[in-house]
Chain A
Amino acid sequence: GENVEQHPSTLSVQEGDSAVIKCTYSDSASNYFPWYKQELGKRPQLIIDIRSNVGEKKDQRIAVTLNKTAKHFSLHITETQPEDSAVYFCAASWDGVTGGGNKLTFGTGTQLKVEL
């Protein structure tokens, strides 16, 4: 099955700096890579996603890059703000209808702390 590794486990940055979180996946069949933000005791919130036919996607301060050959993808947050502090999870899946399609395998999470 799919295995997703995520680094770093904790990340502290100063407000206004950039933050980068990296993930690698093992299953070359995976073609969908979402990123979730989870605040303590809350549900994961989808913040950005990318499909395997695209190398980069950006949404305001958030961007995701994907390297299919190397099987890794990264989350980039620019101009970080204190409200960005949370746990971020990457995930991978493939969008098949059967045989385990759409099952998300999550990374281990990154605790991001944005300091004033």
Chain B
Amino acid sequence: GAVVSQHPSWVICKSGTSVKIECRSLDFQATTMFWYRQFPKQSLMLMATSNEGSKATYEQGVEKDKFLINHASLTLSTLTVTSAHPEDSSFYICSALMDAGVFGTDTQYFGPGTRLTVL
């Protein structure tokens, strides 16, 4: 259980184009998903919190008009990198929060990541 998928696993695009990445929780519903970016040999940096049915909450310094997030259902969140540039090249990882109930600890389960290369 607790499987999270991402699509695509890798993508190469030209500078100026937009790229959409999908994050799906396959066997549980997730009202909250998170999007992270990870540069080579660095840690995971939270970009935004995706909330089903409402606007995403972006971390300081993350441009919401450049990184569009849509959480249209309880199992799907999408991240669209608009007008991508080479500096946006990175490993993008999503996670889905599994609700453990009142007495448990909610746990984040990570997707396999999407390697974005912008030429």
**Cβ contacts A95-116/B at 8 Å (1 or 0 each):** 1000010111111110000000
| Residue A16 is within 8 A (CB to CB) of chain B in the complex | no
Residues of A within 8 A of B110 (CB): 36, 43-45
- Number of A-B contacts defined by CB within 8 Å: 51
Question: How many residues does chain A have at the interface if contact means C-beta atoms less than 8 Å apart?
Answer: 22
Cβ–Cβ contact A44 & B34, under 8 A: no
What distance in Å separates the Cβ of A31 from its nearest Cβ neighbour in chain B? Answer: 9
| Residue B46 is within 8 A (CB to CB) of chain A in the complex | yes
List 5 contacting pairs A-B, 8 Å CB cutoff, sorted by A: A42-B112, A89-B44, A102-B32, A103-B34, A104-B108
Cβ–Cβ contact A95 & B93, under 8 A: no
Residues of B within 8 A of A89 (CB): 43-44
Chain B interface bracket (under 10, 10 to 19, 20 to 34, 35 or more): 20 to 34
Cβ–Cβ contact A43 & B43, under 8 A: no
In addition to A46-B107, A105-B46, A107-B43, 14 A-B residue pairs with Cβ atoms within 8 Å of each other are A32-B105, A34-B107, A41-B91, A41-B115, A42-B113, A43-B113, A45-B110, A51-B105, A102-B108, A104-B34, A104-B46, A104-B95, A106-B44, A109-B43
Which residue of the partner chain A has the closest CB to B57? A100
Cα separation A24 to B29 with both chains bound (whole Å):
32
